[in-house]
A and B are shown apart, each in its own frame.
Chain A
Amino acid sequence: MTALAGTAASVRRRAGGLTRGWLVGGVVAVWVLLWIPLRGRDTLALSTSELSPLHERLNDLRDAINNTRGSSPVFSAFFDVIRESVDALTVFLQSLISQPAYGRPVPLIGWLGVVAVATFGAYAVGNLRVAALTAAGFTSFGLLGFWQQSMDTLALTLAAVLICLAIGIPLGIWAGLSDRLNRVLTPVLDFMQTMPTFVYLAPLTLFFLIGPASGVIATLIYAMPPVIRITAHGIRSVAPSSVEAGTSLGATRWQLLRSVRVPLAKRTIVLGINQTVMCALSMVTIAALIDAPGLGQVVLRALQTLDVGTAFSAGLAIVIMAIVLDRVTTAARDRVETQYRMGPRARGRRRVVLAGLGVLTAVALYLSYTYVWAAFFPGPERGGAVGGEVADGVTRASDWVQLNLGAVTDAVRNAISYGLLNPLQSLIADSPWYLVSAVVLAIAWIVAGPRIVPTAAVCLGLLVGSGLWQEAMVTLAATLVATVIVMALGVVVGVWMGRSDRADGLIRPTLDAAQVMPAFVYLVPFLGLFGASRFTAIVAAVVFAAPVAIKLVADGIRGVPATVVEAAVSSGSSAWQVITKVQLPLARQSVTLAANQGLIYVLSMVVVGGLVGAGALGYLVVAGFSQSDLYGKGLAAGLAVVLLGVLLDRTTQAAARRLDAGAAHRGLRKGKDS
């Protein structure tokens, strides 16, 4: 009976999916038919140097702020307080580990002390494995020849993360308790995460001057949302039964929060901290554009001379730092659970090791404060012990690839550009705006339901108002192509990783590296391979976005109950049948989430795309950063990116919820029948 009902429901659902597919196909067919006579009309094109009245008003607004900054005491006092306290924190951290301070030619703690403290800290919050990883990772900064730059980057990242946590965790807890605050906060956080940094980089230096404060504030604008969101989510997810138990014991609201909600959400909150650290590190190169010291400077400078090798080894140091911080915070998260289960014997042993490491750390601190050899990392000043070889090797490899694969890569670029991108762009960007809007609304309705239509309509209306409709459509076309490639990779590699532990172990570190390696590092070889083109931008976006999609799909495949897979195998299904008929359909929710995240990550690379020939919105954002006349237009382009993000995110999320609702509905029926 159960099986029958389940099958019936799934047939109904599939039929629903099929009609939806037909409907979307129908809409696209009508679109193409209308496009033939209407193409080129009402595309709202605006040439690169032209400004709309809105762009001019934004320019005027910027000028007005620029002029009042000096004359209004309230204005300057307010920002000065923030700037001075952020500066003080950052400079203090720098004088501890990276910059000469207190009349000394070196920072207070030399390399030996930093390595020791980091290792000790990693053991204290994590375990011996991550402590060893930390020691190796930190030593490699010196071996690569970037000790001081790495410490500058670490100091800035720490300052930004500390401020993020001091503001983000309380705010997240509050948002977890208050629905109203959560509703107000969500769009603000969306905005902070999707607004391209280039848009607010120059104004930041107006408010907070050129110095550490501006770099830290640019970083924390982007890095704060994850910890707020994830903390709120953690507080919300505390089981109602635990809260009720507390209430029935007569706990006050505050006691409830302190001894029930926060402890139970601790694991999730640490995950939020982890994500915030990763986001902060991803800003290293961009913050360097306004003189934030550290590894980002090395990367940017190497780019000016197309020195791929040096850019790579600095990028490698960033990747190592990210992986160390990621593994340590992840271990800290797991410890939250394991420490309760530890026996007294194990706990005692741990205490002894901690004490021993503590003594060693104290000695190392003293040595690195007092002696030159423990303060300056030994080895040649340029390139360090191995940095020079790493750089040379990478340069040679990159040159060889460019020289020998040029013909192949040209063919790939042309095939995708002429076969997919150009037709799609022509359809989207050369149609009249009202036709595209109608099509988008219709498709959103079909896949995500009628409730999404008002949101989508507002986004489309604002896009028209931004004066950058056609640029937005060109960007949309490239974004869609990139997302298709991301999802193809996500499904193929994700299924492979989900089914094989060995593949997972092999591929996962590469994915981590691809996510945190600054895009600027691999742009030069990509430019050599694919030229300055939209396709290069797409490839860069795929490198950044595919890891997320792959990981999500792999997790989904792993989440399919082993019993179900075994049942399918024992009934004689081939591997292909198991994947397409059992694993992928059951991991549907993860696949949709992967598509959503893939889209958003691709969109966050729009500006980087603008630097390598993608044109459109990305180029305008960069142009607005560097040309004062185009500031308003760049700001409008940044807003257009945000609008595209909101439109795509809300639509895919609603579509995913609809799928879930279908599945939940089926589950409910199943429960009732049995």
Chain B
Amino acid sequence: MSNVVIGRFVAVLTVGALALTACGSKIEDTPSGTTSRAACGTVNIAVNPWVGYQADAAVIAYLATNELGCTVNKKNLTEEVSWQGFGTGAVDVVLENWGHDDLKKTYIEQQGVAVEYGSTGNKGIIGWYVPPWLAQEYPDITDWNNLNKYADKFKTSESGGKGQLLLGDPSFVTNDEALVKNLKLDFKVVYAGSETALIQAFRTAEQQKQWMIGYFYEPQWFLNEVKLVHVNLPPYTAGCDADPAKVACDYAPYDLDKIVSKKFADSGSPAAALVKNFQWTNDHQNSVALDIAVNKLSDDDAAKKWVDANRDVWQAWLKN
């Protein structure tokens, strides 16, 4: 190709491209903040990595943006890092807190940078679960007294000749090693290491009728796909889990609660009132979580769907 040809080629392309400028709509500047925006300001919501939490955050962010005119920043963080954010000012709101007495002690009592902001209304249940096919074929398996009878069946390459009890994400506080020891179970705790690994293990177990028992919890979107069955340990009584080494009872039911930064609580922002009043049921959360996880709706679309259908529920949250 000679230089002349290339030059002509470039010229043609340029003219063609310039012709394109004649069509299409132009980009307009966004209008600067309205008065309501100024009143609410910015809210930094931590989004912890599970779908139920994502559902909470989706609805609160939707309402704060569209009803109160706030600017909402969602930050995808793990629990530990979110709490650190209270101290550094990067996080205003944690919407679904599971216990975490150690973090409460550090950030609420010692540093005084965070405050408890009431229950979300969701009840957290933690325990040992088996896939439904197993509970159907061996109904007595849901009683812990019978677990040793079946221990052999739960053996895997990982469990060193004992039955395998599978655990998931290490961020949950668990008593399982102590439970196995104190209930004299012929099981070994095996750490799957992530929620993803745990869910996949239950899914495979149900699909291929494999023997499996593991730690799980509700509310969780996966229970809508596979209805895992809770195994009854000796029932929880107040104080039975006081000494972590001697625990021999089921997990305490969790009252999931909200935590906000001291600064945000004192700000008088309407969003703070919204977070304080926010309360709903496990069914509410599950319906939003299912739209996000299974129906693949975006957070905003899932929130809008729920908000449109449950006006009476959230109207109450907006009152000061």
* Interface positions of A (Cβ within 8 A of B): 47-49, 63, 66-67, 69-70, 100, 103-106, 201-202, 205-206, 209-211, 288-291, 297, 300-301, 303-307, 348-349, 352-353, 355-357, 359-360, 363-364, 366-367, 369-375, 382, 402-403, 406, 413-414, 417-418, 421-422, 523-524, 527-528, 531-535, 610-615, 618-619, 622-623, 625-630
Contact call B6/A627, Cβ cutoff below 8 A: no
Chain A residue numbers with a CB within 8 Å of B315 are none
Contact call A305/B84, Cβ cutoff below 8 A: no
One of A105, A290, A382 near B81 (C-beta < 8 A): A290
Contact call A209/B88, Cβ cutoff below 8 A: yes
Once the chains are docked, how many angstroms separate the CA of A402 from the CA of B201? 12
B35 within 8 A of A: no
Interface residues of B in 199-224 (CB under 8 A from A): 199-201, 203-204, 207-208, 221
Q: Which 5 A-B pairs have the closest CB atoms?
A: A356-B10, A626-B171, A417-B157, A623-B170, A532-B192
One of A201, A355, A626 near B169 (C-beta < 8 A): A626
Given contacts A356-B6, A612-B192, 18 further A-B contacts (CB under 8 A): A66-B87, A69-B88, A103-B29, A202-B84, A205-B81, A289-B77, A291-B76, A349-B3, A359-B10, A359-B14, A371-B21, A382-B298, A406-B204, A418-B157, A527-B197, A622-B170, A625-B78, A628-B103
Interface mask (B72-105 → A, CB under 8 Å = 1, otherwise 0): 0001111111001101111100000000001100
Least CB separation from B50: chain A residue = A304
Contact call B156/A533, Cβ cutoff below 8 A: yes
* Interface positions of B (Cβ within 8 A of A): 1, 3, 6-7, 9-10, 13-14, 17-18, 20-21, 24-30, 32, 49-51, 54, 75-81, 84-85, 87-91, 102-103, 106, 110-111, 156-158, 166, 169-171, 173, 177, 189-201, 203-204, 207-208, 221, 244, 292-294, 296, 298
Contact call A611/B51, Cβ cutoff below 8 A: no
Contact call B27/A372, Cβ cutoff below 8 A: yes
Once the chains are docked, how many angstroms separate the CA of A422 from the CA of B155? 14
Contact call A100/B30, Cβ cutoff below 8 A: yes
Least CB separation from B294: chain A residue = A305
Contact call B207/A612, Cβ cutoff below 8 A: no
Q: Which one of B25, B106, B197, B294 has the highest number of Cβ atoms from chain A below 10 Å of its Cβ?
A: B197
One of A290, A382, A535, A615 near B77 (C-beta < 8 A): A290
Query: Secondary structure of the A side of the interface?
Result: helix
Chain B residue numbers with a CB within 8 Å of A360 are 10, 13-14, 17
Chain A residue numbers with a CB within 8 Å of B156 are 531, 533
Contact call A627/B171, Cβ cutoff below 8 A: yes
Least CB separation from B76: chain A residue = A291
Chain A residue numbers with a CB within 8 Å of B196 are 303-304, 306, 523-524, 527, 611
Chain B residue numbers with a CB within 8 Å of A374 are 24
Chain A residue numbers with a CB within 8 Å of B170 are 619, 622-623, 626-627, 630
B213 to chain A minimum Cβ distance, whole angstroms, is 13
Contact call A613/B157, Cβ cutoff below 8 A: no
6 CB contacts below 8 A, A to B, read A210-B77, A289-B77, A348-B3, A360-B17, A402-B204, A527-B197
Q: Which one of B75, B84, B157, B204 has the highest number of Cβ atoms from chain A below 10 Å of its Cβ?
A: B157
Once the chains are docked, how many angstroms separate the CA of A68 from the CA of B195? 34
